[in-house]
Amino acid sequence: MKGTTRLFRFLALAGMLLLVGIVCSTPAVAGPIELTYANFPPAPTFPCVQMERWKVEVEKRTQGKVLVKTFPGGTLLGDKEMMDGVIAGQANIGNLCMAYQPGRFVVTNALGLHLGITSSRVGSLVLWDLYTKYKPEEFAKVKVLTMFTTAPANIMSTKPVRTLADIQGMDLRASGGAAEVLKAWGANPVGMPMPATPEALQKGVVKGLISSLEVMKDFKFAEICKYVTMVNTALYPFAVVMNMDTWKSLPPDVQKVMDDLAVEQARWTGEYMDNHVTEAMTWAKETQKVEVIELPAAEKANWDKKLEPLTEKWIAEAKAKGLPAEAILADLREMIARHTK
Reduced to 3 states (helix: H, G, I; strand: E, B; else coil), residue 105 is coil
d(CA 203, CA 19): 64
Q: Taking CB under 6 A as the rule, does residue 54 contact ligand 3IO?
A: no
Q: Does 45 bind ligand 3IO (CB under 6 A)?
A: yes
User: Taking a C-beta distance cutoff of 8 angstroms, is the pair 179, 189 a contact?
Assistant: yes
Query: Binding of ligand 3IO at residue 208 (CB under 6 A)?
Result: no
Q: How far is the CB of 255 from ligand 3IO (least distance, A)?
A: 28
Alpha-carbon distance values, 91 to 70, 120, 239 (Å)? 10, 27, 15
Binding of residue 228 to ligand 3IO (CB under 6 A): no
Confirm or reject binding of residue 71 to ligand 3IO (CB under 6 A). no
x-or-dash string of contact with ligand 3IO, 153-192, rule CB under 6 A:
----------------------x-----------------
Phi, psi of 260, rounded to the nearest 5 degrees: -65, -25
Q: In the complex, what is the shortest distance from the CB of residue 297 to ligand 3IO, in angstroms, rounded to a whole number?
A: 27
Kindly state the number of chain residues that form the binding site for ligand 3IO, as judged by CB under 6 A: 14
- The sign one gets for the Cα dihedral 107, 108, 112, 115 is positive
Residues 158 and 55: their CA atoms lie apart, in Å, by: 38
Among 41, 72, 94, 237, binds ligand 3IO (CB under 6 A): 41
- Annotate 51-65 with DSSP letters as a single string: HHHHHHHHHHHTTTS
Residue 109 sits in the site that holds ligand 3IO (CB under 6 A): no
Angle at which helix 325-340 crosses helix 120-134, to 10 degrees, equals 140
Q: Per CB under 6 A, does 212 bind ligand 3IO?
A: yes
Query: Contacts with ligand 3IO in 83-102 (CB under 6 A)?
Result: 97, 99
Quick one: which of 215, 216, 222, 336 contacts ligand 3IO (CB under 6 A)? 215
Q: Which is nearer to ligand 3IO, 83 or 194 (CB)?
A: 194
Rg from Cα positions in the chain: 25
Instruction: Name the helix (H) or strand (E) containing 94.
Output: strand 93-97
Question: With binding defined as CB under 6 A, does residue 236 bind ligand 3IO?
Answer: yes
Q: Smallest gap, in angstroms, from Cβ of residue 82 to ligand 3IO? A: 11
If one counts every other C-beta atom within 10 angstroms of the C-beta of residue 304, the result is 14
Chain residues 272-331 in contact with ligand 3IO, contact rule CB under 6 A: none
**Residues in contact with ligand 3IO by the rule CB under 6 A:** 41, 45-47, 97, 99, 150, 175, 193-194, 211-212, 215, 236
